[in-house]
């Protein structure tokens, strides 16, 4: 059985934040906004004005910095005096996850307002909880995807370049993971068969990034949205999110479980981790060296890491590589591969990437691209 999930409404463009009140009014007359303090300082007054003009009573709650049970308890306590039909969240991934968690607690509708494009979390029904020391506690799920995703590309253009690059890294891997999940007859994030349209979206996302990522990064450097940035934001926030949830994941995202367990790699940006992780996946697939070299050239041209040494300043030692491999294979998405893997193979692939993307030798027949 196939399941495809998506936000109820997606709005993107320069000045989209000015439409916040109009868009929230489609959902409710009262809303709580969980907002990053920096975003609150920059845009809070404008968001208030937009909502007031549309007849939406907006209450702003500043996000405390960590998506922890204690923070969700604090936010919920601040909402205890009246029913909350709608929770909106404006900020980065953690702030948006806090908004999702609060909405789930209050059984409210959800609106996400990403102010950086570092992941595709704004479109997803997943959210992550951490403890106060930033150790992962759980990945939870909303009953459905957000009711509204609103993306102001001019706000995105003024966010840090490295965060925008991380979003490109998170998105560029999706085509390879969805292909592997489909080929392995795996399950998507909804626990269902991958939807074919998710594969089409993943391929379209990859094509946009290969063609327009460099120009979009240049727009971020100028701090001014343009057509290239608009295309890339649609790819990294919307297309990437739809493709991974409804298409499934594989080795690249599984590797984050192992990488984050090594102390010196523990606080790397998620999108840069998976951009590296898919290189290991492609070596395990025994992709053609010319293909690997071409992808590495693209990575180099925009600043994505082609090894852990490039990402974090140091390659793993044998013990660290073994730990990464074992924890990677313990992740459920690691099963979405057309053949069983063992830790020794993954270790060889890790060191092959550190040496410069030379395919790791293996017995048997090379895996070809997904034929569907």
The predicted-structure confidence for 155-167, as pLDDT tens digits, reads as follows: 999 999 999 999 9
Task: Give residue-wise pLDDT tens across range 192-217.
Answer: 999 999 999 999 999 999 999 999 99
Model pLDDT, residue 136: 72
Domains and CATH numbers, the chain: 10-156 (3.40.50.1970), 161-355 (1.20.1090.10)
Q: How confident is the model at residue 300 (pLDDT cuts 50, 70, 90)?
A: very high
DSSP reduced 3-state for 185: coil
Angle made by CA atoms 230, 300, 280, in degrees to the nearest 5: 100
CA dihedral 74, 84, 149, 115 (to 10 degrees): -40
CB atoms within 10 A of CB 361: 9
Can you say whether the dihedral through the CA atoms of 221, 211, 187, 238 is positive or negative?
positive
363: Cβ contacts below 8 Å, ≥ 6 apart: none
Query: What mean pLDDT comes out for the span 117-125?
Result: 94
Q: What is the pLDDT of residues 165-187, one digit of tens each?
A: 999 999 999 999 999 999 999 99
Position 259 confidence tier, pLDDT thresholds 50, 70, 90? very high
- For residue 361, pLDDT beyond 80: no
DSSP string, 293-348: HHHHHHHHHHT--SSHHHHHSS---HHHHHHHHHHHHHSGGGG-SSS---HHHHHH
- Which tokens sit at 343? 């830790």
**What is the rounded distance in angstroms from the CA atom of residue 156 to the CA atom of residue 160?**
9
How far is 171 from 81, CA to CA, in rounded Å? 40
Tell me the pTM.
0.92
Residue 131: predicted pLDDT: 82
3-state DSSP assignment of residue 351: helix
Contacting residues for 293 by C-beta, under 8 A, at least 6 apart: 357
pLDDT of residue 338: 85
Select from 85, 107, 101 the least CA-distant residue to 26. 85
């Amino acid at each position: 059985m196939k399941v495809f999930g998506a936000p109820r409404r997606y709005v993107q463009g320069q000045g989209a934040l000015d439409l916040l009140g109009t868009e929230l009014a489609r959902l409710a007359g009262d809303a709580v906004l969980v907002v990053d303090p920096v975003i609150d300082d920059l845009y809070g007054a404008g968001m208030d004005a937009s909502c007031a003009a549309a007849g939406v009573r907006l209450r702003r709650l500043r996000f405390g910095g960590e998506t922890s049970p204690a923070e969700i308890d604090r936010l919920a306590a601040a909402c205890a005096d009246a029913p909350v039909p709608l929770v909106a969240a404006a900020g980065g991934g953690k702030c948006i996850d806090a908004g999702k968690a609060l909405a789930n607690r209050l059984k409210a509708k959800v609106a996400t307002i990403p102010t950086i494009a570092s992941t595709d979390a704004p479109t997803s029904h997943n959210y992550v909880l951490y403890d106060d020391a930033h150790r992962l506690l759980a990945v939870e799920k909303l009953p459905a995807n957000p009711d509204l995703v609103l993306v102001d590309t001019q706000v995105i253009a003024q966010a840090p370049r490295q965060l925008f690059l991380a979003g490109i890294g998170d998105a560029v891997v999706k085509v390879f993971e969805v292909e592997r999940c489909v080929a392995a007859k795996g399950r998507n994030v909804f626990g269902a068969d991958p939807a074919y349209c998710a594969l089409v979206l993943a391929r379209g996302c990859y094509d946009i990034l290969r063609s327009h990522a460099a120009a979009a990064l240049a727009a971020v450097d100028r701090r001014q949205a343009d057509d290239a940035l608009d295309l890339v934001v649609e790819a990294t926030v919307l297309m990437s999110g739809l493709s991974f949830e409804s298409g499934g994941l594989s080795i690249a995202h599984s590797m984050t479980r192992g990488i984050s367990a090594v102390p010196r790699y523990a606080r790397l940006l998620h999108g840069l981790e998976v951009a590296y992780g898919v290189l290991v996946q492609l070596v395990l697939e025994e992709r053609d060296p010319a293909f690997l070299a071409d992808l590495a050239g693209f990575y180099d041209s925009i600043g994505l890491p082609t090894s852990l040494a490039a990402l974090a300043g140091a390659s793993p030692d044998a013990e660290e590589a073994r730990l990464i491999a074992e924890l990677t294979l313990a992740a459920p998405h690691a099963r979405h591969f057309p053949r069983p893997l063992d830790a020794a193979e993954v270790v060889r692939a890790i060191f092959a990437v550190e040496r410069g993307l030379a395919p790791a030798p293996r017995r048997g027949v090379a895996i070809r691209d997904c034929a569907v």
